[in-house]
Amino acid sequence: MDPSALAGSPRLANPAELPNPAELPNPAELPNPAELPKPVDLLAHRDPFLFVTRLVELEPGHRVVAEWDISEDAPFFSGHFPGRPTLPGVLQLESLAQAAACAVLADPTHQGRLPLFGGVDRARFRRVVVPGETLRLEVELERLSSRGGRGSGRAFVDGSVSCEAAMLFVFAPLDV
């Protein structure tokens, strides 16, 4: 068969790339998203700077899957860019950081703390995000201590990566 005939065909998964079913979580053991805390109950952020709509999965202190429904009337779209509204990449990073903060603050050890950005490494933007889309935010916390931590996150739209980055954060007291 001519290899060019396969161009554009979906790639079949290599069995070595597929997850081991024994390592996947049991869906019956996952929390019901309706039972998860609301981002506004965990974060100090408020509109117009709250970029997490809901939590989908949460392992406090370890990982989170969240979503941000991007409103078509968000004020930043009028200037970024007129005639072609595009979600700024820095807001994708901020939404990942807010999702990470939800995972951190859901851990009773860190409740009442204020995680602040300490740095961003290896940030990459892979896809344009436009008004009306939903950004799926997946963050893994890799290190967490009393002073701060480190994690990595990826944002997706319809299964395509739009942004990925490694993030550092430090804790500040809420009464500053």
The pair of three-digit structure tokens given for residue 85, joined into one six-digit string: 């509204």
Q: Which of 45, 62, 80, 110 is catalytic?
A: 80
Strands 148-157 and 63-69, how do they pair? unpaired
Identify the CA nearest to 114 among candidates 36, 38, 43. 43
Q: How many CB atoms lie within 10 A of CB 168?
A: 16
Contact 56, 67 (CB under 8 A): yes
- Go through 105-124 and write b for each residue having 16 or more CB atoms within 10 A of its CB, e for each that does not: bbbeebeebbbeeeeeeeee
Q: Where are the alpha helices (DSSP H) in the chain?
A: 39-42, 89-105
- Alpha carbon of 94 to those of 9, 32, 97, 124, 159: distances in Å? 35, 26, 5, 13, 20
Q: Is 62 a catalytic residue?
A: no
What are residue 54's DSSP bridge partners? 67
Active centre residues (catalytic): 80
